[in-house]
Structure 1
Amino acid sequence: MVLLDEKISEVKISKSKGFGGMNEDFVLSFKDKKSIDIFKKAITTAVKQPGKVDITEPNYDVMVEYKSDGEGLPTHGIHLWLGKENEKSTFMYITNDTIYLTSPQMTKELRELILSEE
């Protein structure tokens, strides 16, 4: 997946209410460099999967916000299906239906961040 080539200021997480929208009732917020780097790596290394998919509703919505000096930069809204231990996780941009899979190692790191904070 692709993110803007800009510095990320914050990653916000909410329980998803379903496809096509962002639940802005955020339950988690990450601003520290280590957490942001984990999300950035998980998202940018996720591999696009071919074809259309029939998938359950997402677990989480992820909002990626960027630092900007002038006018505000756009945000990225992403659905997340958090995999179980030793499984891949799935990302999907809110605006389309292509899915991207992470590695089991990235799932482990995401689980540690998200589940330890809930």
Structure 2
Amino acid sequence: MKKITIFISLVVFSILFATGCSSADIEKIDVYEMESFSIIKEDSLTSYTDSKDVNIFIKVFNNAKKEPGIVDIADPEYQVQIGEESYYLWIKEEQGTIMNVNDTHTIYSLSKNSVEKVYDLLN
């Protein structure tokens, strides 16, 4: 019984620690306009430091839905830096897709509500 209690306590602590650090430590989101997968447009950096804006990006990217299959996609419109992670972003008024820079075989789609929030921030 004692082992189970310790195990459950460790699991709960780990979950609380991971979720607490995921957004609390991030104070800035950097967004670059892209020319291609490997070329960032010159002087295109926009930094978001307002905590409301930062939290919007974090929530939207955390709630993106993984899409099945192998990806073959056009050059990204943006590169978004969230803490240590970097993502490519394709976004239009009604559709959005992200891809982790370190996993270019998987895409994630954004909900319509998420697209509206990010699109408004970028425009």
TM-score band w.r.t. shorter chain = 0.7 to 0.9
- Aligned-residue sequence identity (percent) comes to 30
- Give matches, 1:79-98, under 5 Å: 79-84=88-93, 87-97=94-104, 98=106
Over aligned residues, Cα RMSD in angstroms?
2.1
Aligned length: 101
- Code of the aligned partner of 1:80: L
Richer in helix (by share): 2
Change beyond 3 A, Cα 1:88–1:82: same
Q: Please say which structure displays the higher CA radius of gyration.
A: 2
- C-alpha change, 1:26 and 1:9, in structure 2 (3 Å) is farther
Distance 2:108 2:39 in 1: 18
Structure 1 unmatched runs, 5+: 66-74
Taking the aligned partners of 1:33 and 1:5, their CA distance within structure 2 comes to: 14
- AA aligned to 2:35 is K
Bigger strand share: 1
Runs of 4+ in 1 over 6 A off after TM superposition: none
Flag the 1:64–1:26 CA change in 2: closer, same or farther, 3 A. farther
- Higher RCO, Cα 8 Å, sep 6+: 1
Gaps of 5+ in 2: 1-18
Aligned: 1:15 with 2:22 = no
Q: Aligned residue for 2:57? A: 39
Output the TM-score relative to the length of structure 2: 0.73
Give the SS at the match of 2:28: strand
Q: Deviations over 1:68-90 (max 9, x none)?
A: xxxxxxx1110000122xx2300
